Amino acid sequence: MARIIVVTSGKGGVGKTTTSAAISMGLAKKGHKTVVIDFDVGLRNLDLIMGCERRVVYDIINVINGEASLNQALIRDKNCNLLSILPASQTRNKDALTQEGVGKILEELSKDFKYIVCDSPAGIEQGAHLAMYFADDAFIVTNPEVSSVRDSDRILGLLSSKSRRAERNEEPIKEFLLLSRYSPERVKSGEMLSLDDVQEILSLHLLGVIPESKSVLTASNSGTPVILDEKSDAGQAYSDIVARYLGENRPHRFIDDKTGFFRKLFGGK
């Protein structure tokens, strides 16, 4: 059985697509057959970040409408043959995304893949709802600012009530925090919330902190997930995240606050 991961946030532009691309590549590079699905119908850009935009023929809506088979729509990644991409449609009506249709696609993919990564659109509308509805794990991408944290809190509320697991009274979705675009300098100067501040509000299991990094833009311009840029700080942060998710024990980095939070949380006892 596949594990379904939703990458979600509520707020827009916080790094969901960047994260979806990076972790799906990371999981595949670790030898797990992985597929990443773009749920952002109308604004697709996962294929851009994955560098496969010129190879898109069919999309998720075609599959739901029965105009193409899943195999016709899946795009094999050029860097890693264990990774496939199911693109969203740019042109179609969002309402074409139905619960039944998505459920069928996920069921079929589950037979073939180990991990299914769902890149959620922003907001709490249908697309975001369907991206999270079937999830087993949720990666909550949050930026260190009040509105992003508040939206994450809202999404967490929805995860615990409006998901299939909640409706069936099953074990709840596992929730993980990915604090992205973190800049210790700006935390110090008071422009940004600290990890500590964010955790006080969300109290989630921290999977990793991704630093604010120019390498993210460079990577997306070249159509390669930033995790493949092994020298970059953001790339390393995502590698750590994938490793931790898979059960490895790696110390947290890029927080650069050597006196505060960490001593409190992990040391000092």
Partner 1 sequence: MTINSHSFPAVEFKSSSFSVPVLSLASNDLVLIEQLLNEKIKLAPEFFKNSPVVIDLHEVNKKQFVLDFKDAVMVVRKAGLFVIGIRSGNEFQQSQAIELGIPVNTAPTSEIKEIKIDSKNKQIKAPDDSEFIASDSTTVMITKPIRSGQRIYSHGDLIVLAQVGAGAEILAEGNIHVYGSLRGRALAGVQGNTEARIFCSDLQAELISIAGNYKISDDIQGAISNTPIQIYLQKNTLIIKPIVY
Tokens of 139: 């990666």
Span from 17-25, 48-56, 97-105, 187-195 in contact with Mg ion (CB under 5 A):
17-25
Burial class (CB in 10 A: 0-12, 13-18, 19+), 196: middle
Q: How far apart are CA 160 and CA 163, in angstroms?
A: 7
For residue 162, the partner it binds in Mg ion, ligand ATP, partner 1, none, with Cβ less than 5 to 8 A by kind, is partner 1
Residue with Cβ nearer partner 1 (43 or 201): 201
x/- mask, Mg ion, residues 141-180, rule CB under 5 A, reads ----------------------------------------
- Binders of partner 1 among residues 53 to 82 (CB under 8 A) are none
How far is residue 185's CA from residue 195's CA, in Å, rounded to a whole number? Answer: 13
When asked if residue 201 is in the footprint of partner 1 (CB under 8 A), the reply is yes
Which of 16, 32, 129, 244 touches Mg ion (CB under 5 A)? 16
181 makes contact with Mg ion (CB under 5 A): no
Our CB check for partner 1 shows the closer of 69 and 203 to be: 203
Q: How far apart are CA 31 and CA 138, in angstroms?
A: 21
Indicate the angle between helix axes 233-245 and 214-222, nearest 10 degrees: 80
Which of 135, 216 has the CB closer to partner 1?
135
Overall size of the chain counted in residues: 269
DSSP annotation of 148 reads H
Number of chain residues interacting with partner 1 (CB under 8 A):
16
213 binds, among Mg ion, partner 1, ligand ATP, none (CB under 5 to 8 A by kind): ligand ATP
Taking residue 79's Cβ as centre, other Cβ atoms within 10 Å add up to 14
Spacing of C-alpha 72 from chain mean position: 24
Is 205 an interacting residue with respect to partner 1 (CB under 8 A)? no
User: Counting contacts by CB under 8 A, is residue 158 touching partner 1?
Assistant: yes
Bridge partners, residue 3, by sequence = 115
Residue 70 or 213 with smaller CB distance to ligand ATP? 213
Cβ atoms of 3 and 215 closer than 8 Å: no
Listed residue (151, 131, 186) closest to 12, CA to CA = 151
Q: Cα(66)–Cα(52) distance, rounded to whole angstroms?
A: 23
Given the rule CB under 6 A, which residues bind ligand ATP? 9, 12-18, 40, 121-122, 180-181, 210, 212-213, 216-217, 220, 234
The answer to the question of residue 17 lying near Mg ion (CB under 5 A) is yes
Which parts of this chain interact with partner 1 (CB under 8 A)? Answer: 150, 153-154, 156-158, 160-162, 166, 169, 172, 200-203
Which parts of this chain interact with Mg ion (CB under 5 A)? Answer: 16-17
